[in-house]
Amino acid sequence: MTSSKKFKKRLTRSLKAGALGVLAVTLLYFMVRACSGEGALLLPGDSGEVVDPGSMYGISLADYAPTRYIVKEGQAFGSVMDEIGVPYSTISDLLNRSKDVFNPRRWRAGDAYWVFRSADSAAAAHYFIYESSQTEYLVFGLDSLYVQRVERPTKVVQRAVAGTIEGSLYETLSNQNVSPAVAVRLSEVYAWTIDFFRIQKGDRFEVIFEERFVDDTSFVGTGRILGARFVHNGKPYYAFRYEDEANGIRDFYSEEGEGLKRMFLKAPLEFARITSRYSKNRFHPVQKRWKAHLGTDYAAPTGTPILATAGGTVIAATYTSANGNYVKVKHNGTYTTQYLHMSRIGKGIRNGVHVEQGQVIGYVGSTGLATGPHVCYRFWKNGKQVDPLREPMQRTEPLPAKLWASFEAHMAPLKAQIDSLAAL
């Protein structure tokens, strides 16, 4: 076999392997985007459909004829280039030139690409355009070899919505054609103040957030949350985004300028549901007897990351027949937490190791006395187990007095808008 044939075979194999290696992730990615509406691509037409893309690519249609195609499942970037007549030495050169802006392993089935051929000949390809997302595309020059990433201008629009929880936060937002990403971001804003796994019917919210558009009408995603109020168990919780670069401040604060962050996160998981609350008298599903259950169970799929709810030092990372794989963290002289039934303990988590708040310390499982995958979260105060959901926690430092006037001026119109929504 000649060296050129060996090179061609090797390049084809490597490029195809890269595409197939991420196929499963690609399909999951598209399912999530289809469900959420977050960053969804405009669906391309049938393969071979000839349309006029206008001037967005900056290529004269007097000289070239564009044809649009879609990436097929398992189709590698190199094989596509080969099909349109690009030599393998040129493919290798283009990949080398594009390594800072294009990764062929992120080439996704279902994405659109364009081939610009000479207007007087359908054979010669001169430009290859890959629609990597709604907000950007890549231009591959096939004559004078170059690769250019072009970002489309986006427009940011503020939007305000309000709702009362009837089923779930996701459903309530979805009914108003709001991306589920807003629910995720709200849970992040209130991660220290509200346990979003305990949201109940009748809770209410008002939120002001950003949406991004291309060409003024094509939705491409949500941006920042600017202000919100969440009423949980009849108690209102305000949150306002405030930034002051000169003082290194970029965070959320209450209407009174108090920081929302606290020593402990409200839950050790990002997404789950509570299956069993703290109780001193619970029928144990494995031991078949009534006994105290001094923890809070969060059910989640096996392998879901478990987070340290506060920074501290690991004082146990081991296995027992009852607790299964578990980690215990001492946070200070007052508080200690424990995380039970892990499928496995996180890498590097061992006695004496310091962990940060929100750091992954293990993964949900059903080891020990457990009937299904979940994490049992236990909480000690001064050596006595207590219900973490009822423990009051001190907030982070409020805004410095010198910034109160600036914060008030920024917050007041957002609060007025939120309160007007609440009055509807």
The CATH architecture that domain 155-253 belongs to is: Roll (3.10)
Query: Which CATH homologous superfamily contains domain 273-390?
Result: Glucose Permease (Domain IIA) (2.70.70.10)
Same fold, 155-253 and 273-390: no
What would the pLDDT profile of 159-194 be if each residue is shown by its tens digit? 999 999 988 888 888 889 998 889 889 988 998 988
For 176, other C-beta atoms within 10 Å of its C-beta total 11
What's phi and psi for 11, nearest 5 deg? Answer: -65, -45
Q: How confident is the model at residue 105 (pLDDT cuts 50, 70, 90)?
A: confident
Alpha helices, DSSP H only, in 84-168?
Answer: 88-97
**Is the per-residue pLDDT at 133 higher than 90?**
no
**pLDDT score of 19:** 36
Mean pLDDT: which of 53-62, 140-149, 286-295 is highest?
140-149
Q: Largest Cα–Cα distance in the chain?
A: 84
pLDDT band of 294, cuts 50, 70, 90: low
For residues 372 and 8, the model is more confident at: 372
Find out whether 16 and 73 touch, Cβ atoms under 8 Å. no
* Residue 154 pLDDT > 80: yes
Instruction: State yes or no: pLDDT of 268 exceeds 80.
Output: yes
For the entire predicted model, the pTM comes to: 0.64
DSSP string, 104-121: GGG--TT-EEEEEEETT-
Q: What is the mean pLDDT of residues 228-248?
A: 93
Q: What is the pLDDT of residue 39?
A: 33
CA 327/CA 353 separation, integer angstroms: 11
Question: Which ranges of 110-156 would DSSP assign to H, the alpha helix?
Answer: none
Q: Which of 20-24, 110-114, 156-160, 391-395 has the lowest mean pLDDT?
A: 20-24
**Token pair listed for 169:** 């936060």
Residue 197 pLDDT:
77
Q: Where residue 271 falls among pLDDT bands split at 50, 70, 90?
A: low
Lowest mean per-residue pLDDT among 66-70, 297-301, 407-411: 297-301
Tokens standing for 255?
């209407």
- What Cα–Cα distance (Å) separates residue 323 from each residue in 114, 330, 366, 376, 387? 57, 18, 9, 9, 18
- Segment holding 355, helix H or strand E: strand 354-355
Distance between CA 205 and CA 198 in Å, rounded? 15
The pLDDT of residue 122: 61
Would you list the domain boundaries of the chain? 3-151, 155-253, 273-390
User: What is the distance between the alpha carbons of residues 96 and 79, in angstroms, rounded to a whole number?
Assistant: 17
Average pLDDT, the chain: 81
What share of the chain has pLDDT > 70, as a percent? 80
Reference 312, options 286, 334, 332; nearest CA is: 332
Residue 169 three-state SS: helix
Annotation: CATH topology of 3-151: Nuclear Transport Factor 2; Chain: A, (3.10.450)
> How far apart, in whole angstroms, are the C-alpha atoms of residue 29 and residue 255?
38
Contact predicate 319/286, CB 8 Å: no
Instruction: Specify the pLDDT at position 200.
Output: 86
State residue 239's pLDDT score.
97
- Taking only the tens place, the pLDDT of each residue in 341-381 is 999 999 999 999 999 999 999 999 999 988 889 999 999 99
